[in-house]
Amino acid sequence: MVYIRQDKLPKLKEYKYSGVDHSLVSRYIMKPFYTNVVIKCFPMSMAPNLITLTGFMFVVINVLQVLWYNPTLDQDCPPWVYASWSIGLFLYQTFDAVDGSQARRTHQSGPLGELFDHGVDAVNTTLEVIVFAACMNLGQGWRTVMVQFATLLTFYIQTWDEYHTRTLTLGIVSGPVEGILTLCVIYMITAIKGGGSYWHQPMLATLGVSDFGVIPDWIYALSWVDWYIVYGGAMVVVNTLWSAENVLHARRARGQRTRVALLGLLPFFGAWILIPAYLYLQPIILYHHLVPFVFFVGIINAYSVGQMIVAHLTKSRFPFYNVLVLPLVYAVIDSAGPLMLEQFGFGWPSALGNDIYQVAFMFSCLGLAVGVYGSFVIDVITSICDYLDIWCLTIKHPYVEGKQAQLEHAKDESKKTK
C-alpha cells in the first residue's frame, strides 16, 4: 500500500517547521541546559533521527523491566527499578529535545525529522502508560484504561491542533515538558518510598492534613492514585478545550469552515466507544490480558497520529479512516450477541467465546496492528528519503560551510558563459 501519493511528494519541499513553546520551565531551565551542555555531547556526524531513536531505547528498556518485574502492574518492584525508570524517561526527554538542535546545527532539518520525532513520541505515549501503571500499582483494570484514554487523547488532540493551525503549540504547562518531569519525580519518589503501594495511601492524611470535620470522609479517604486521576481528567478537559479554540480561531482567520475541523475528533472517540465496550463484554481481557491489549490500542492511536502527520507534511486531506479499528468492530459485535440473547431474547452466538479463542483473537489483533503500522512507517520513511535524497539514521549529505554559496556562484558563472 502507498501511503504518500506521488503528486503529494513535492509538498514536502514546502515544509517549514513552526512551533511555539510557552513553558517557562522549558525557556529558562531546560533549553539552556540542552544548548549549553547536552548538545555538545553529540558529534556533528550523528544524525538527528538516530538521537531520537537512541533516546527511545531507554523507554523500551524501562518497559522490558516492567514485563519482567511487574507484568500484572500491581506488584512492588525493587527500588532501583523505579530509579532506572526515572533516569530512562529523563534521558528520553533529553534526547528527544536535543534532536531538533542537532538538526539545525548539522543543517538536516526537514519533514522526515518531524515525522520521525512525532512517530516515536506516539509509540512512547503508550509505553509510558504501562510504566506509570506499574509504578502506581494500578493493576489490570479500569484505572489503567482511564490513564491510557487521557494520555492518548492529549497526544491526539495536540497533533490534530498542529494539523489545522500548522503550528505545534505547547502551553505554559505541557506534557512533553512539565508532564514528563513530573513523572520522573514520581518514579524517583516511588524508589525512595519502596514501591508503588505507597501511592494507595490517603493523600491528605499522608501529607499531614487534619480532618476537622469539614472535609467529607470520602474526599479525605481518596488515595494519591485517585487524586491523580481527578487531576489528570481536569487537565485533559482544559487542554482539549484550549486546542479546540486554537483550531477554530486559526480556521476562522483563514476564512475556512470551523465545525468541519471538529469532525477530526471522530476517529479517536469512535475507537474509544468500541474499546471500553469490548473490555466490558470481555472481562478476561480487561483483568488478565490488559497489557497486550494496551499495546494494541496504542498502535491504533499511533497509526491515526502518523496519518495526520503525513497529511500535515504533504498538505493533504484529513485522514478519517483507520483500518485497525475494524477488528474492534467485529470483536464488539461478536461479544454483544450472547448478551443481547440473554437480556432481550434475540441475538447471535459468539464465534470467539469468552476463553482461549478470545485471547488468541486479541493477540492476533496486536500482530495485525504491528504489521500494518510497521508497513506504514517503512513505506513513509522510504518514500520521503527517496524523494528528498536523504537517509533516515545517517547523514547522506554532510553540510559544508560555504558549499552552497560556491554552487550558486558556479551556476551564475555558467549562465554568464552561455
What does the pLDDT average to over 58-66?
97
Cβ contacts of 318 within 8 Å, gap of 6 or more: 163, 263, 264, 308, 311
DSSP 4: S
| Mean pLDDT score of the chain | 90
The reported pLDDT for the residue numbered 260 is: 87
Say whether pLDDT at 206 is over 70.
Answer: yes
The reported pLDDT for the residue numbered 406 is: 58
94's grid cell? 533529553
Tell me the three state secondary structure of residue 360. Answer: helix
The reported pLDDT for the residue numbered 169 is: 81
The reported pLDDT for the residue numbered 108 is: 87
Per-residue pLDDT tens over the stretch 329-388:
999 999 999 999 988 888 899 999 889 999 999 999 999 999 999 999 999 999 999 999
334's grid cell? 461478536
- Tell me how far apart the alpha carbons of residues 31 and 37 are, in angstroms, rounded to a whole number: 10
Say whether pLDDT at 393 is over 90.
Answer: yes
pLDDT grade, residue 213 (50/70/90)? confident
Query: CA geometry: angle at 62 spanning 60 and 68, to 5°?
Result: 105
Say whether pLDDT at 39 is over 80.
Answer: yes
The reported pLDDT for the residue numbered 15 is: 87
Say whether pLDDT at 211 is over 80.
Answer: no
φ and ψ at residue 116, rounded to 5 degrees: -65, -45
Beta strands (DSSP E) in 87-188 are 168-170
Among the listed residues 302, 296, 297, the one whose alpha carbon sits nearest the alpha carbon of residue 124: 302
Q: Considering 22, 107, 118, 397, which one is annotated as catalytic? A: 118
Tell me the three state secondary structure of residue 367. Answer: helix
The reported pLDDT for the residue numbered 413 is: 61
Reported pTM: 0.92
Say whether pLDDT at 124 is over 80.
Answer: yes
CB atoms within 10 A of CB 345: 7
Q: Which residue has the cell 502507498?
A: 2
The reported pLDDT for the residue numbered 414 is: 59
CB atoms within 10 A of CB 54: 16
φ and ψ at residue 47, rounded to 5 degrees: -70, 145
- Tell me how far apart the alpha carbons of residues 286 and 144 are, in angstroms, rounded to a whole number: 10
Active site residue 118: yes
Q: Which residue has the cell 440473547?
A: 341
Among the listed residues 295, 171, 177, the one whose alpha carbon sits nearest the alpha carbon of residue 241: 171
> CATH: 1.10.3720.10, 2.40.50.140, 1.20.120.1760, 1.25.40.10. Which one for 6-417?
1.20.120.1760
